[in-house]
Amino acid sequence: MPLQCEVADLVAAGPFPAEDAEVEAIEETQRLLERVPKPVTDEEARALATLFGPDNCFGLAWTLLHLIETAPGAGTARYTERLDNEWVQMLNARIEVGRQSHGGDQGRRCQAPGQGHHRSW
């Protein structure tokens, strides 16, 4: 499935600039990012995960991370490109925490205090 035009335009612009880049470059990145409709597809999420730059880019990296997390398979995805980037590492870590808290203990149910084991007197 091809990428939506807005996603393709953002991907074509390349990785996000650093916070010390020219204001125009940061504004253009913001403009392109804001055009992307949500949710994105899993394929688009993989492409978007390659765009993280060297820093927060004035909050745009967080916006990108949250956009990627709108993909239907985001809860089980593993982003394998640019693993040296701290934002890709954070994205994968968030997914792993979600797996552990929602799927890692399948079949085990928590019970309220006083419920569960009953003694026969």
Model confidence at 104, in pLDDT bands (50, 70, 90)? low
Q: 6 with 35: CB under 8 angstroms?
A: yes
Residue 82 dihedral angles phi and psi, to the nearest 5° = 60, 45
The verdict on residue 85 lying in a domain is: yes
The verdict on residue 98 lying in a domain is: yes
Helical H segments across 1-121, by residue range: 5-12, 23-35, 42-48, 60-68, 86-102
pTM: 0.81
| Predicted confidence (pLDDT) per residue in 41-54, tens digit | 999 999 999 999 99
| Predicted confidence (pLDDT) per residue in 15-44, tens digit | 999 999 999 999 999 999 999 999 999 999
* Residue 118 predicted with pLDDT over 70: no
With CA atoms as reference, report the closest residue to 63 among 83, 87, 80, 42. Answer: 87
- Residue 58 domain boundaries: 5-102
State the total domains in the chain.
1
